[in-house]
Amino acid sequence: MEIAIIGASGYTGGELMRLLLNHPSAEVVAATSRKLDGTPVASVHPHLRGLTDLAFRNIGAGDIDADFVFLAVPHTAAMKVAGTLVERGIRTVDLSADYRLSKEIYEKTYGVTHEAYFEAPYGLTELHRDEVRGASFVANPGCFPTGATLAAAPLAHLAHTIIYDSKTGVTGAGNTPSATTHYPNVGDNFSAYKWTSHRHLAEMKQEAARLGSTARCYFTPHLLPVNRGILTTAHILLNEPMESKEVETLYRKFYEREFFVRYQKPTLAAVRGTNFCDVAVESEGDRVVAVSTIDNLVKGASGQAIQNMNLMCGFAEGAGLCFAGMSP
């Protein structure tokens, strides 16, 4: 199957190409960039040198010649081309936020008018597999909501409050330099940001509701001086107390058939470079602490996008994604 990546110069675009090199049924035939037209892909993504001879091309959605498209463009940019891809019958996974939320919530959260809204399955595969399977267009979840929701999902319907506390590596901010990601400001440092107003909270609330939960949800992210990874601690305040053994049994059963969710002590090193989410829980009665780890560029973005592609196209769900992490 021939793949095109629209907006391939960023971290998620490079990660898509890295992962798809190992996919038995997919080949990247086009990598687009308006600013880098004609530039070899490997000059921007040097880890791919010797593995691809593609050059970036400045081509629009109407001129894409491929069986499948990954939209790896910023929020508000995806909506400008998504309709064209749908009309042309090209199956697509959108890695932006443009189709993750209802129109009303999206416009309120992102402060813009949605120009081309349509409903799309939310591609948190473990929870929405049936909607993703065979779909023509899927909205890939945000990185924070992926780790957070998988941490809380088995207990969300039994909680009155869920507090998410996440620590992320700097690649979550993208590859455009800024004061926030400047090394002297990040190295040997640790800080919270958007304490009460991060836009990914809308996705967390949406997924909690879809799980049958009426819990109030809160979220604060923190920036770690590492490249990759998100560790989320979910404080799940229950309506009725549960013992640790009971909670652990519930989690193991909930995820027993999920290859990419492993019940074990979560560490960033164990999931780095992989599509795995590691989860573990402990209870003190009416408060359960659930901890999850993911690689924000893989399970939090490009890997999950490929997982969704596999379901959409009838491939094995783990095709191109079944490999171990880089520990230590």
Q: How many helices (DSSP H) and strands (DSSP E) are in the chain?
A: 11, 12
Question: What tokens does 180 get?
Answer: 């926030």
Residue type, 277: C
Using CA of residue 123, residue 4, residue 33, residue 44, what is the dihedral sign?
positive
Tokens 């909670």 — which residue? 247
Tell me the C-alpha distance between 308 and 26, whole Å: 13
Residue type, 204: M
Tell me the C-alpha distance between 311 and 199, whole Å: 27
284 φψ region: left (φ > 0), alpha (ψ -120 to 50), beta (else): alpha
Name beta bridge partners: 92.
69, 137
The answer to whether 30 and 100 have CB atoms below 8 angstroms apart is no
User: How big is the chain by its Cα radius of gyration, in Å?
Assistant: 19
Catalytic residue (one of 143, 217, 277, 322): 143
Question: What tokens does 44 get?
Answer: 């921007």
Residue 277 bears catalytic tag: no
49 φψ region: left (φ > 0), alpha (ψ -120 to 50), beta (else): beta
What is the β-pairing status of strands 159-168 and 191-192?
unpaired
Is residue 74 reached through a cis peptide bond, with omega within 30 degrees of 0 on the bond before it? no
Tokens 């290859």 — which residue? 259
| Residues belonging to the active site | 143
